[in-house]
Amino acid sequence: MENLSGSDIALIVALVIVTLLLAWLSLVMASVEAAVSRVTRASLNNLILEVQTSDETQFTRMKHIDKIHHVQHLVDDRYATGGACVFFRVLFNISSGALVAVIAAFCGAPLWGEVLAGVVFALIVAFISTMVRPRMVGATKPLQYLLRYSGLVRFARALAPFARDRNRAHLHHDELSDDEELEKIQLEQGRAMIDRLAESSDMDPEISEMLRNVLTLSDTLTREIMVPRTDMICIERMDSLQSALKMFSRSGFSRVPIIGESVDDLVGMAYMKDAVRAVTFNPQAAQRPVESIARDPMLVPETKPVDDLFHQMQRSRQHIAVVVDEYGGIAGLVTIEDTIEQIVGELEDEHDRTQHTEPEKVGEKSWKVPARTPLSDIEELFEIDLDEDDVDTVYGLLTKALGRVPLVGSSAVTRGIRLTAVDSAGRRKKVSTILVEPAGDEFETPEDNDSDDTKQERKDDDNRE
């Protein structure tokens, strides 16, 4: 150090200045990298309107607007801008470490001291640029920071064409527009943050699972959670309010679609509270057609994301919607409970029963079986050959025999056996248990022990068929 000449000292000072400049540029690139992922096109458009209506001179306004246009160009291809910032942040970081090693060599340090000084300095700059102040500034004031260093970022992106070409191809593949790209970035960041929280022992696993479910709502379509049209419980437009009330009671639903000649001929929605209100204050109204209480249905496309569906149902104060396909036909039903279940899991109340999983013998030749029991098991129990190619379960066989979705109490005879829906389970009130027994005069049929109300309900079912 003592043998250094004046020119060596000047060179060392110049190297120190360049090293500090490179370290500062690395921190700036880290801040811009954080800012570019948070600036939206809408905020830039609003800023242009503010500048155009400001009291500044025409020259100053044009200068500000020109800078905003530069930032818009950077945001239009934010992947390329971010890639260029990452590349030059790493390059400046490594270069500053190398210059520190050179300075250490001029000062007479041994080889291991030169390497150690360069590595330590590069690590310190990397830690600061990655973890501490710069990213915080870029995240809290992204627009101001990007406007301030737009010229530097444009220069950096011009020198990194590989990032522009690679990321433009990615954007062309995704076909993202407006602020969808920013939303996608923030969604990915949210998923990563939740994954880190879930890995910590302090986070409740159920809460972390719900957080993950919230982020997947935008990727889940309505058709994935709806009740398909084959499982819909409907009522015909000319059925009486009395029949509607019995259907509400048997099905467990409080809202049912009203249809005409087919499911696609949607008339409206029947609400149980409307039927109860009409009949309670006017008993003669029990014979009025259910069409008289029809409400306008809420229609949603089957491709609608679940998060948008949930917000739309909230705003319109609707708890049920009819799902339509691309051709305008009825695809199914969806309720607000279906959307909530995507977050919190299956919802059940005190009236929901647990579905049985094993057949239960209730008589000499009578069995209660789960609705999803394969027909092969029924063939073994009754030693018969059902020979059904288009259905595989006892529930499907009952549905085929009835020609519609069965309700609790629905009964049909087919292939020499009588099938009776005797129980339902779950929030959707789907038939869960079916009584299977031989259909013959030598066996007592369920109608022999039914009450008058149950017989009338079966009669109403036959009339609808």
Domain that holds residue 451: 360-464
Mean pLDDT over residues 145-173, rounded?
66
Whether 29 and 152 map to the same domain: the answer is: yes
Buried b or exposed e, range 438-448, using 16+ CB within 10 angstroms: bbeeeeebbee
Query: Which of 199, 231, 262 finishes a domain?
Result: 199
350 falls within a domain:
no
Q: Tell me, what CATH number does 389's domain have?
A: 3.30.465.10
Work out how many domains the chain is built from and give that number: 3
pLDDT higher than threshold 80 for residue 227 = yes
Whether 146 and 267 map to the same domain: the answer is: no
Mean pLDDT over residues 155-177, rounded?
57
Whether 186 and 257 map to the same domain: the answer is: no
Note the pLDDT of residue 270. 93
pLDDT higher than threshold 50 for residue 450 = no
Whether 271 and 140 map to the same domain: the answer is: no
Predicted model pTM: 0.49
177 falls within a domain:
yes
212 falls within a domain:
no
pLDDT higher than threshold 50 for residue 173 = no
Whether 260 and 331 map to the same domain: the answer is: yes
Whether 332 and 231 map to the same domain: the answer is: yes
214 falls within a domain:
no
Spacing of C-alpha 136 from chain mean position: 29
Q: Which of 81-95, 270-284, 348-362 has the highest mean pLDDT?
A: 270-284
**pLDDT band at residue 198 using 50, 70 and 90 as cut-offs:** low
Whether 61 and 189 map to the same domain: the answer is: yes
* Cβ 441 vs Cβ 378: under 8 Å: no
104 falls within a domain:
yes
End-to-end CA separation in angstroms for the chain:
104
Q: Which two tokens stand for residue 182?
A: 């920013």
Note the pLDDT of residue 354. 53
Mean pLDDT over residues 408-437, rounded?
80
**pLDDT band at residue 449 using 50, 70 and 90 as cut-offs:** very low
pLDDT higher than threshold 60 for residue 381 = yes
User: Which pLDDT tens digit goes with each residue over 15-60?
Assistant: 889 888 888 888 888 888 777 777 766 677 777 777 777 777 777 8
Q: Which residues, including other chains, have CB under 8 Å from residue 424's CB and lie 6 or more apart?
A: 252, 353, 408, 430, 431, 432
Note the pLDDT of residue 216. 73
* Cβ 382 vs Cβ 394: under 8 Å: no
- Cα atoms in the Cβ-side hemisphere of radius 13 Å centred on 435: 21
Whether 194 and 243 map to the same domain: the answer is: no
Note the pLDDT of residue 460. 55
Whether 161 and 72 map to the same domain: the answer is: yes
Q: Tell me, what CATH number does 240's domain have?
A: 3.10.580.10
385 falls within a domain:
yes
Whether 135 and 260 map to the same domain: the answer is: no
Note the pLDDT of residue 169. 46
Q: Which residue has the tokens 């979705």?
A: 405
pLDDT higher than threshold 90 for residue 389 = no
User: What's the mean per-residue pLDDT of the chain?
Assistant: 77
Whether 239 and 138 map to the same domain: the answer is: no
pLDDT higher than threshold 80 for residue 308 = yes
440 falls within a domain:
yes
**pLDDT band at residue 271 using 50, 70 and 90 as cut-offs:** very high
Note the pLDDT of residue 337. 87
Query: Which of 286, 319, 344 finishes a domain?
Result: 344
Share of the chain above pLDDT 90, in %: 9
207 falls within a domain:
no
Q: Which residue has the tokens 């085929």?
A: 400
Whether 232 and 195 map to the same domain: the answer is: no
- Residue 272 has phi, psi (to 5 degrees) of -60, -40
Query: Which of 295, 316, 344 finishes a domain?
Result: 344
- Of 134-138, 233-237, 306-310, which range is least confident? 134-138
* Cβ 375 vs Cβ 386: under 8 Å: yes
Mean pLDDT over residues 378-394, rounded?
81
Question: How many Å apart are CA 195 and CA 8, to the nearest integer?
Answer: 53
More confident residue, 400 or 7: 400
Note the pLDDT of residue 124. 85
User: Which pLDDT tens digit goes with each residue over 230-245?
Assistant: 788 899 999 999 999 9
Mean pLDDT over residues 112-122, rounded?
86
- Of 10-14, 43-47, 321-325, 376-380, which range is least confident? 43-47
